[in-house]
Amino acid sequence: MPTPQEIQSHLEAHLPQYMELLRRMVEINSFTENTAGVNQLGQLTAEAFTALGFQAEHVQAKNPAYAKHLILTKPGTSNLRIGMISHLDTVFPPEEEAANDFRWREEDDRIYGPGTNDIKGGTVMIYMMLDALRVTAPEIFEEINWSILVNAAEERLSDDFGALCLERLTGKTLAALVFEAGVRGDSFFQLVTARKGRATFAVTAHGKGAHAGSNHPEGANAIVQMAHTIQQIAALTDYSKHLTYNVGTVAGGSVVNRVPHYAEAKVEMRTFDPEVFDAGVENILALQNLAEVSSANGSYDCKVNIELTDQSAPWPSNSGTEKLLQVWKEAAEPLGISIHREERGGLSDGNALWHTLPTIDGLGPYGANAHCSERSPEEGKDQEFVNRSSFVPKALLNTLGILKLIEQAKR
């Protein structure tokens, strides 16, 4: 087994090489709908990992509007497998990057650029760890079946990717390791052990149109009805259960001199607990029977329809994740750092994996301002960045965690 010092020395010596790979990734626009850019990044990533002995497979996403998922595999001599999860796509269209002059930029310890933190830095983290294992623990590196799965449309919650991961992470898979950005303190790291689930809803209110001047009493105002329904939805939020509803968009009506016959809203719900999640879906769907607005002359009652449009189940606290957390805690002890758990409100690919495979998240480097492209110091706005100094310590921790995981599996 290599010592922490040997692994750290290798990582530090090759950090410029790793950062150059990150720079090349960041310079490719990989907005989810920019399929050419996402596929270009997939090709670059495949070429980089070829140097470590990996074979690449490009699998078209189920939705033809998205690019190709990337699967990188390296067969081992044992039956042990480890899966590593990242994604290719980012949230910034080329026009947004240009408008905000959002590009690779180095300032002291910070490296700014699209995807530096979410999640191209995480993909580079995977490369660093495997490169360190290849050099400092070659027998273990050759022994393990390595599978790296990189989502082409994570920012759009492409549901086929989770199924693809479960299809490929077969046999004795020790863990699904997700490399979304982590949190680092002076003497601790936070790893993600749970994530909220998310459900989205389309809410429509149907009223009756009428001339707003001549026939106002005949009209049933769909926007007024939607206002009532929105208040009812907002009242379902229960912070004691970490249950939130967010009315994200509202639209309705056509012209100001017409009583509006139609209004619509888009809503999302999030929570950690699966039972709270299921009850939350039922509670909002029940509101479609509670229309309150009618025409003044009593000729028409508004109607409300609420449709569940999409859902991703919660990733709650569970024994598989807890075991991995304990492994990483033990790996951190000789480094003099502690590991804290984090329950994160956003989703990741881990939401689709934890119920089948031991899964842990937040294994990427540390940065901030994910999904932010604007830069306006006077308004307190800054762009997405990653801390260069976070790469080696986190890669060292993750490498030691993997070695300990393999050691325990072989006992």
CATH number, position 104:
3.40.630.10
Same domain, 156 and 181: yes
pLDDT at residue 138 above 90? yes
Q: What is the pLDDT of residue 67?
A: 98
pLDDT at residue 13 above 90? yes
For the domain that residue 234 is a member of, what is the CATH number?
3.30.70.360
**H-helix or E-strand spanning residue 210:** strand 210-211
Q: What is the pLDDT of residue 183?
A: 92
CA distance linking residue 326 with residue 330, whole number of Å: 6
**How large is the average pLDDT for residues 327-351?**
96
Are 173 and 81 in contact by the 8 Å Cβ rule? The answer is yes
pLDDT at residue 157 above 90? no
Same domain, 8 and 100: yes
Same domain, 130 and 222: no
Same domain, 191 and 202: no
What are the strands, taking DSSP E only, across 282-372? 303-312, 338-344, 359-360, 367-368
Q: How many Cα neighbours within 13 Å face the side chain of 110?
A: 13
Burial of 360 (0-12, 13-18, 19+ CB in 10 A): buried
Same domain, 233 and 258: yes
Same domain, 332 and 404: yes
**How large is the average pLDDT for residues 357-384?**
96
**How large is the average pLDDT for residues 42-57?**
98
Q: What is the pLDDT of residue 185?
A: 82
pLDDT at residue 289 above 90? no
**How large is the average pLDDT for residues 374-388?**
95
The pLDDT-based confidence of 158 (bands split at 50, 70, 90) is: confident
Same domain, 182 and 209: no
**How large is the average pLDDT for residues 27-45?**
98
Range of the domain at 230: 197-312
Q: Where is the domain boundary, 265, 281, 312?
A: 312
Q: What is the pLDDT of residue 300?
A: 97
Q: What is the pLDDT of residue 83?
A: 98
Determine phi and psi for 405, rounding to 5 degrees: -60, -45
**How large is the average pLDDT for residues 28-44?**
98
pLDDT at residue 186 above 90? no
Are 233 and 245 in contact by the 8 Å Cβ rule? The answer is yes
Considering only CA atoms, which of 389, 391, 386 is closest in space to residue 370?
A: 386
Give per-residue pLDDT as tens, 51-95.
999 999 999 999 999 999 999 999 999 999 999 999 999 999 999
pTM here is 0.93
Domains of the chain: total: 2
pLDDT at residue 27 above 90? yes
Q: What is the pLDDT of residue 411?
A: 85
Same domain, 64 and 190: yes
CA distance linking residue 302 with residue 239, whole number of Å: 31
